[in-house]
């Protein structure tokens, strides 16, 4: 199976409506979706599984460009065509949350779903991004969110998922910085009910709290860094020495924040393995095969696909 994204066609709602492929189909919906390397990852893992388990020989994963206005219709067609599952990426994760038949309890406080499984009652929504983050932080940096002090940058959808994961795993404290105070306050209010005694603080990136502990794991969940011209989401030299910096962005592979962290001698990791592990967990939900078994194949495919970009 080629891991090249250029060989993965971008399909449309019209293609879905005309769908007649026999076998088990999986999908990812996004807008835009062209950049997605998820088909390369999932199809590599499915090919690998089929070598030892023939029942996976007819499984395949496809990417669809779906406009948010047509998401409900697309999910209905997907169900009628008996797709086993679908991944959702920007901007569908939040829109779909209120439109699925059931939501996995762990995903409830996130308010967003990235993996849907077809059940008799309809789509069941899960969110595997938090698992992807926690697993990548452990694998790449040797650190656990559980028991760690976390400095989280951002207050958008990815930050919300990360904050929920940190709290569900019982981090020691959570310090959230965001450019726009209003968005920060909304996030703090949303996660307050699940803090259960864990200290949670919000601050402006330019005003570092005096009591912020040393040795925190810094996680960038802002989109600052996607472009070369973006400002740094925080000045790392103004923080008490962190233990490591994780950036959810993986394209470019090294953001300004990761460069700044490396210059300070801090361990760093980008978001590619977060993508890999959320994908492996999604595949586990659809196949019952442990995410730890498929992650290495998905990781290799992801690296090949990124190198081809
Ligand atoms: P959202 O649009 O929901 O949130 C964007 C966040 O970035 C907000 O907090 C926003 O702050 C902040 N921001 C944007 N531009 C700047 C800037 N120039 N300076 C400082 N802060 C800025 O996006 P998502 O939460 O969905 O995604 C965030 C990032 O995480 C993206 O880069 C995405 O690619 C990555 N991601 C990676 C994943 C992975 O698997 N590796 C999974 C999911 C996301 P404000 O409130 O002030 O606007």
Taking only the tens place, the pLDDT of each residue in 190-211 is 999 999 999 999 999 999 999 9
Confidence band of 4 (pLDDT split at 50, 70, 90): very low
pLDDT of residue 205: 97
Q: Which residues are catalytic?
A: 93
pLDDT digits (tens, 9 = 90+) for 150-169: 999 999 989 999 999 999 99
Nearest to 286 by CA among 39, 12, 46: 46
Among the residues of 103-255, which ranges form H helices?
129-141, 157-168, 181-191
Could you tell me the two tokens for 193?
């009910």
Q: Which atom of ligand 1 is least distant from the CA of 225?
A: 32
Between the CA of 39 and the centroid of ligand 1 the distance, in Å, is 23
Mean pLDDT (whole number) for 58-72: 98
Give me the half-sphere count of Cα atoms (radius 13 Å) on the Cβ side of residue 307. Answer: 8
Q: What is the pTM of this model?
A: 0.96
Query: Residue 112 to residues 37, 139, 171, 195: CA-CA distances in angstroms?
Result: 21, 25, 21, 18
Ligand 1 binding pocket, CB closer than 6 Å? 90, 129, 132, 154-159, 178-180, 183, 221-224, 226, 230-231, 233, 248-250, 271, 274-275, 278
Q: How far is the CA of 261 from the centre of ligand 1 (A)?
A: 19
Strand boundaries in 5-146, DSSP class E: 10-11, 25-30, 60-65, 85-88, 102-103, 115-119, 122-126
What is residue 8's predicted lDDT score, i.e. its pLDDT? 87
Ligand 1 site-directed mutation target among 113, 202, 223, most atoms within 8 Å of CB: 223
Buried b (16+ CB within 10 A) or exposed e, 156-178: ebbbbbbbbbbbbbebbbbbbbb
Question: Is 294 a residue whose pLDDT tops 80?
Answer: yes
Pocket test for ligand 1, best of 35, 178, 222 (most atoms within 8 A of CB): 222
Alpha-carbon torsion angle 275, 280, 285, 286, nearest 10: 110
């Amino acid at each position: 199976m080629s891991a090249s994204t250029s060989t993965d066609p971008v399909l449309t709602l019209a293609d879905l409506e005309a769908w007649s492929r026999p076998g088990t189909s999986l999908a990812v919906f996004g807008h835009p979706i062209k950049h997605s390397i998820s088909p390369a990852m999932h199809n590599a893992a499915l090919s690998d599984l089929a070598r030892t388990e023939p029942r996976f020989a007819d499984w395949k994963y496809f990417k669809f460009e779906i406009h948010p206005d047509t998401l409900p219709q697309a999910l209905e067609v997907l169900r009628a065509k008996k797709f086993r599952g679908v991944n959702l990426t920007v901007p569908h994760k939040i829109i779909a949350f209120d439109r699925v038949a059931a939501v996995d309890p762990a995903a409830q406080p996130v308010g967003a779903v990235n993996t849907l499984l077809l059940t008799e009652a309809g789509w069941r929504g899960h969110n595997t991004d938090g698992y992807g983050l926690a697993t990548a932080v452990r694998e790449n940096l040797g650190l656990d969110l559980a028991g760690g002090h976390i400095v989280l940058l951002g207050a958008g959808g990815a930050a919300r998922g990360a904050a929920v994961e940190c709290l569900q795993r019982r981090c020691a404290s959570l310090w959230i910085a965001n450019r726009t105070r209003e968005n920060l306050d909304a996030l703090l209010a949303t996660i307050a009910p699940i803090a259960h005694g864990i200290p949670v603080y919000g601050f402006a990136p330019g005003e570092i709290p005096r009591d912020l502990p040393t040795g925190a794991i810094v996680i960038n969940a802002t989109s600052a860094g996607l472009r070369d011209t973006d400002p740094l989401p925080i000045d790392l030299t103004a923080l008490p020495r962190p233990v490591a910096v994780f950036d959810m962005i993986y394209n470019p592979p090294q953001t300004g924040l990761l460069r700044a962290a490396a210059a300070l001698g801090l361990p760093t990791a980008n978001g590619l393995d977060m993508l890999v592990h959320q994908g492996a967990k999604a595949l586990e939900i659809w196949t019952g095969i442990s995410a730890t078994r498929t992650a290495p194949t998905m990781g290799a495919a992801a690296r090949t696909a990124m190198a081809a970009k």
